[in-house]
Amino acid sequence: VEVERAFSLAKRRFGLTQIRTYLKETTQSVIALSILALNLGKLQAIQCTPILFYLQVLLWKVKRALKWLPCQKVAFVQ
């Protein structure tokens, strides 16, 4: 079920609904490439996680430092 859901997501996300395959080998290739694309997307997200964590810590430190400034009219939108 997980593979079918991932394949359905890949079809919508990467425009694979426009590809029509008739041969068994071609269909298997499309499925394999879509799973590869999903896995590469997951790897990219995992590699970006430490950078995002560092940016969140940096933003927290900046917000904390700005509290001590005389001007209290600084507002952050989240």
Condensed to tens digits (0 to 9), the pLDDT of residues 6-48 reads 777 777 776 666 667 777 787 777 777 777 777 777 777 787 7
What pLDDT is attached to residue 50?
A: 79
CA–CA separation, 41 vs 6, rounded Å?
A: 12
What pLDDT is attached to residue 57?
A: 82
Mean pLDDT of 39-63: 78
What confidence category does residue 77 fall into, taking pLDDT thresholds of 50, 70 and 90?
Answer: low
CA distance from start to end of the chain: 36
- At 42, give phi and psi (nearest 5°): -65, -40
Please report, as a single letter, which amino acid is at residue 45: A
Is the pLDDT score of 73 beyond 70? no
